[in-house]
Amino acid sequence: MDNSNAIRAEMTVDKDFQIGEVDKRLFGSFIEHLGRAVYGGIYEPGHPKADGQGFRTDVLELIQALQVPIIRYPGGNFVSGYDWRDGIGPLEERKSRLELAWRTIEPNRFGLNEFVDWSKAAGSEVMWAVNLGTHGPEEARSLVEYANHPSGTYWSDLRKSHGYDKPHGIKTWCLGNEMDGPWQIGHKTAAEYGRIACETAKVMKWVDPSIELVACGSSNLHMPSYPEWEAVVLDHTYDHVEYLSLHQYYGNAEQDTPLFLARSLQMEQFIASVAATCDYVKAKKRSRKTMNLSFDEWNVWFHSHEADTRIEPWQTAPPQLEDVYTMEDALVVGCLLIALMKHADRVKMACLAQLVNVIAPIMTETGGKAWVQPIYYPFLHASLYGRGQALVPLVKSPKYDTKEVTDVPYLESIAVYNEEASQVTVFAVNRSIEQPLPLTVDLRSFGTCSVIEHLVLEHADLKAVNTSGDPDQVAPHKLGNAKADGTVVQAQLGKASWNVIRVSVK
């Protein structure tokens, strides 16, 4: 990185130069039957803080604080071999199954109705993924009937017999998961998936026309079929779905921090390429509909790869994918959140994968404590203060190059305008690991400004982590130095820091 002392940045935003409304579902998350996400995570009967349904209330409180609007469930790779009927009805009648995706035993103590109840307690809506690996249209339409039809049919009356008189009203559904991946049970070509997704979408909407559907995009941008997969799938499904999914995880196995901090630029390129492919199909079909995007799996994931290879198969809820996140990871997650907000015009939903224990911001000890990892805080701040109109950020910043990404600005930033609250929130990351970054934000179109608070997440050690014994090693403070003078806000961003500058405007 550049060692020059002449590093400073400027940002100008105008309330009329809008990217788009930030859909609250941009701050969604994901719970899969994987590792200890469910058993020992959100659900642990007998825990000192479990409620009458076995839901851990200490975990619920941490999730409620995040105000997660939507949560994807039950997978993930898990869903492609899952029979949703195994997870309904009396617990004593449910069967344990071999779970092939993650090579565990699934006891089916927690299923559809439990997840709906838990989601309500968490203050979240449900995004349900249907099995298009070993199942197809028949099972999917029956599931929608069970969940959403009022009464008078076999499946809706079965739900009522299970104690749920009113329909669950699940409105968002994923048509399978990562069906382009050879690792997926029931892996398909783009044409094969496009056909079954189309036919499944039709019958699901015939049962409930009010639902919205997400078709599977590429599992990641390195797939050999990308982006042709998107074009072929949409050729079949464009008229029947509302969203196309994107999945991507980011790591730092090379221990190259400047490159790691630049990964959000690759996320932006991925979003732009998928949006362009969607628009190509729109033009090809002469359609008036714009296909929106659901980035329903994203996060940092690389720490636990080696540990996962040592886990013995056929256990119930073993500790899989339990990445221990650092301050450095929190900066990357902050940059990724900014990238999503910068594309709020097309990305309407996104799911941080996952929520508890499995590559997650929240960790638990089975039978013991719950605590938050450093990545919890950028997600918390974005969810709380990132609601409103995302504004076009005109940024002047010094840049640096890496071996993969060039012209990386030291300043990564976005501003969101909440007109109802008369507030602008500036989210900013200083990517420099060597020096602070003076920042000037010009809010010329908003009139007189005053700083409400300047939240900062920083730590002298980029590898610092939180543990059950030291849960606040990495935590935000309110000692940021942002000051307003008329229509200009000035602040000094600490080296390698995440910043949230909340501004009252008149």
In-domain check, residue 53: yes
| 3 state DSSP class of 30 | strand
Say if residue 376 is in the same domain as residue 495. Answer: no
In-domain check, residue 155: yes
Closest to 397 in 3D by CA, of 2, 14, 15: 2
Strands (E), 190-276: 212-215, 243-250
Closest to 7 in 3D by CA, of 499, 421, 493: 493
Q: Is the pLDDT of residue 19 over 80?
A: yes
Strands (E), 324-369: 347-353, 362-364
CATH number of the domain where residue 226 is located: 3.20.20.80
Say if residue 412 is in the same domain as residue 466. Answer: yes
d(CA 296, CA 350): 5
Say if residue 490 is in the same domain as residue 342. Answer: no
Structure confidence by residue, pLDDT tens digits, 481-502: 999 999 999 999 999 999 999 9
β 488-493/437-442 pair status: antiparallel
- Please state, in angstroms and as integers, the Cα–Cα distance from residue 200 to each residue in 184, 237, 282, 421, following that order: 18, 10, 21, 42
In-domain check, residue 480: yes
- Structure tokens belonging to residue 293: 């995007």
Q: Is the pLDDT of residue 430 over 60?
A: yes
Say if residue 35 is in the same domain as residue 161. Answer: yes
- β-partners of residue 395 are 11
Annotation says 178 is catalytic: yes
**Domain boundary pick from 385, 413, 445:** 385
Q: Is the pLDDT of residue 3 over 50?
A: no
Strands (E), 172-242: 172-175, 212-215
Closest to 431 in 3D by CA, of 479, 398, 394: 398
Structure confidence by residue, pLDDT tens digits, 83-141: 999 999 999 999 999 999 999 999 999 999 999 999 999 999 999 999 999 999 999 99
d(CA 424, CA 417): 4
Are the C-beta atoms of residues 307 and 322 closer than 8 Å to each other? yes
The residue annotated as part of the active site, out of 106, 114, 230, 297, is: 297
List, as one string, the DSSP characters of 418-487. ETTTTEEEEEEEE--SSS-EEEEEE-GGG-SEEEEEEEEE--S-TT-B--SSSTTSS--BS----EEETT
Q: What is the dihedral of CA 385, 386, 389, 392, to 10 degrees?
A: 120
Three-class SS string for 269-323? HHHHHHHHHHHHHHHHCCCCCCCEEEEEEEEECCCCHHHHCCCCCCCCCCCCCCC
β 104-106/97-99 pair status: antiparallel
| 3 state DSSP class of 242 | coil
Q: Which helix (H) or strand (E) holds 202?
A: helix 190-207
Structure confidence by residue, pLDDT tens digits, 151-170: 999 999 999 999 999 999 99
In-domain check, residue 318: no
Q: Is the pLDDT of residue 2 over 70?
A: no
Dihedral angle sign, alpha carbons of residues 72, 74, 76, 82: negative
257 torsion bin: left (phi>0), alpha (psi -120 to 50), beta (else): alpha
The residue annotated as part of the active site, out of 99, 114, 178, 328, is: 178
- β-partners of residue 429 are 412, 498
- Structure tokens belonging to residue 66: 């995040």
pLDDT band of 506, cuts 50, 70, 90 = confident
Over residues 436-462, mean pLDDT: 97
* Structure confidence at residue 5 (pLDDT): 57
Say if residue 361 is in the same domain as residue 463. Answer: no
Say if residue 341 is in the same domain as residue 432. Answer: no
Say if residue 259 is in the same domain as residue 408. Answer: no
* Structure confidence at residue 6 (pLDDT): 63
**Domain boundary pick from 385, 420, 451:** 385
The counts of H helices and E strands in the chain are 11, 25
Over residues 282-302, mean pLDDT: 98
Say if residue 79 is in the same domain as residue 223. Answer: yes
Say if residue 136 is in the same domain as residue 219. Answer: yes
Q: Give the distance, in angstroms, between the CA of residue 463 and the centroid of all CA atoms in the same chain.
A: 23
The phi, psi pair for 417, rounded to 5°, reads: -105, 115
In-domain check, residue 344: yes
- Structure tokens belonging to residue 87: 């997870």
Number of domains observed in the structure of the chain? 2
Measure the CA angle with vertex 259, ends 253 and 264; round to 5°: 105
Say if residue 350 is in the same domain as residue 433. Answer: no
Are the C-beta atoms of residues 127 and 72 closer than 8 Å to each other? yes
19 torsion bin: left (phi>0), alpha (psi -120 to 50), beta (else): alpha
* Structure confidence at residue 68 (pLDDT): 98
Say if residue 136 is in the same domain as residue 177. Answer: yes
- Would you give the DSSP letter of residue 166? S
Which amino acid, residue 366?
A: T
CATH number of the domain where residue 480 is located: 2.60.40.1180
Q: Which domain holds residue 496?
A: 9-15+392-505
In-domain check, residue 451: yes
**Domain boundary pick from 352, 385, 418:** 385
**What average pLDDT does the structure give for the chain?**
97
Spell out the residues 6+ positions from residue 444 whose beta carbon is closer than 8 angstroms to its own.
12, 14, 487
Annotation says 297 is catalytic: yes
Structure confidence by residue, pLDDT tens digits, 215-247: 999 999 999 999 999 999 999 999 999 999 999
In-domain check, residue 322: no
Say if residue 348 is in the same domain as residue 470. Answer: no
| 3 state DSSP class of 234 | helix
497 torsion bin: left (phi>0), alpha (psi -120 to 50), beta (else): beta
In-domain check, residue 218: yes
d(CA 373, CA 322): 11
d(CA 379, CA 386): 10
* Structure confidence at residue 1 (pLDDT): 44
Lowest model confidence (mean pLDDT) among 5-14, 49-58, 196-205, 301-310: 5-14
Cis ω for the linkage preceding 45 (within 30 of 0): no
- Structure tokens belonging to residue 303: 């720490």
